[in-house]
Amino acid sequence: MKEIKLFEVRDRGTFVPAMAIRVNDDDDPLLGRAGFGLHPLVILIPMSRFPTTANYDARAWGDRTFATAHDYIERTWNTLIDGDVIDVEYILGETAKPKTSEVR
């Protein structure tokens, strides 16, 4: 089953709305043919970057904010809910408490 969640990705001076889609080859044979195999993968799409870039591999981002956020979303998918704040500074232990939402 495809699952979609929206998040606020936050870091130092950063606020990026993002969409995450969790998929695997059970969802559709086309996904299997595209290499989305036995375990679920998260496709992360920043919704404020133009042109928009999407990645299914956290290591492919090349920046700390999205690499950290993507890895965290993938590892904790089942505990996250739509609209959660993904606070990179908090995840990395740089702040004592997570940021709160600016929109909810």
pLDDT for res 26: 67
Q: Rounded to two decimals, what is the model's pTM?
A: 0.89
Is the Cβ–Cβ distance between 17 and 94 less than 8 Å? Answer: no
pLDDT digits (tens, 9 = 90+) for 30-88: 777 777 666 788 999 999 867 778 999 999 999 999 999 999 999 999 999 999 999 99
Half-sphere exposure (Cβ direction) of 95: Cα atoms closer than 13 Å: 12
pLDDT for res 49: 64
- Is residue 72 exposed (0-12), middle (13-18) or buried (19+ Cβ within 10 Å)? buried
pLDDT for res 32: 73
